Amino acid sequence: MIFNAGSYMTAETPQQNLPEDDHVMRHIAKNRIRRDASGHVVGINSQAFRTRPTDNGALSVNWLEWFRKPTENDNIKVSIHVLRNTRNIGPHDAFGIGQVKKIKEVCRSRSKQVRIVHAPSRENPAHSTILRLEQDDIILQEALADEAFCQLIQNKDI
């Protein structure tokens, strides 16, 4: 079992799979946002979904429905607020949002059976991870960028 750095789960705590219909949000650093040559935002670059060697194949996301706010927009706002308090979020950064079911479907199309599990930390109780991603699968990363995480919200807009 892989535990995310900062997680307060213990070896005895089972990792909860996120419901298929729920959504996750990933922080997209400014330099991984896809722009045209004029600086217009046109999407997310696939490299935003590349794990670092220290990530052990686990990609950090936030579980939006964990916040149980009345609307999806409220969940998004509170998630961004939490991320701003726990990470270095710049004015030109953004957040990609994808549905759990779609993310798994996209990964299956590349023969990857990923798990998306709740991995809360003290600072971020909605923190979750996508497990079993391979660092070198550029086509899967591209599919996550242009098909699975199809909603992009710029930090400056919230």
Partner 1 sequence: MTDMQQLINPQPYHSCVFSQLTKLHNDNVSSAFNSTAINTISAEQTKPLNKNCSLNERLYEATARIKILIAKLSMHMEQEWRSNLFRQIDFLHTPEDWQEEDAPANTESFANFLKALLDIKPHLLPGLGLTYEGNIIAAWTTGKDRLTLEFLPNGHVQWVMSICAENEAERLGGKVAVSRLRERLSNNDLQRWFVHDSRNATTESA
Q: Does 104 bind partner 1 (CB under 8 A)?
A: no
Cβ atoms 18, 117 nearer than 8 A: yes
Of 23, 26, 34, 118, the one binding partner 1 (CB under 8 A) is 34
- 158 and 77 Cβ atoms separated by less than 8 Å: yes
Work out which of 77, 78, 142, 158 binds partner 1, going by CB under 8 A: 142
Task: Give yes or no for a contact between 110 and 137, defined as CB atoms under 8 angstroms apart.
Answer: yes
Number of residues located near partner 1, criterion CB under 8 A: 31
65: left (phi over 0), alpha (psi -120 to 50) or beta: alpha
Shortest distance (Å) from residue 75 CB to partner 1: 23
Among 24, 25, 33, 153, which residue interacts with partner 1 (rule: CB under 8 A)? 33
Contacts of partner 1 in 46-75 (CB under 8 A)? 46-47, 50, 52
Residue 156: phi, psi to the nearest 5?
A: -70, -15
- Does 134 participate in binding partner 1 (rule CB under 8 A)? no
Contact status: 13 vs partner 1 (CB under 8 A): no
**Do 63 and 126 touch, CB atoms closer than 8 A?**
yes
Is the Cα dihedral 18, 12, 54, 134 positive or negative?
negative
Nearer to partner 1, 45 or 62 (CB): 45
User: Element (H or E) spanning 85, and its range?
Assistant: helix 72-86
Q: Does 105 bind partner 1 (CB under 8 A)?
A: no
Q: Which residues bind partner 1 (CB under 8 A)?
A: 29-37, 39-43, 45-47, 50, 52, 88, 90-93, 138-139, 141-143, 146-147
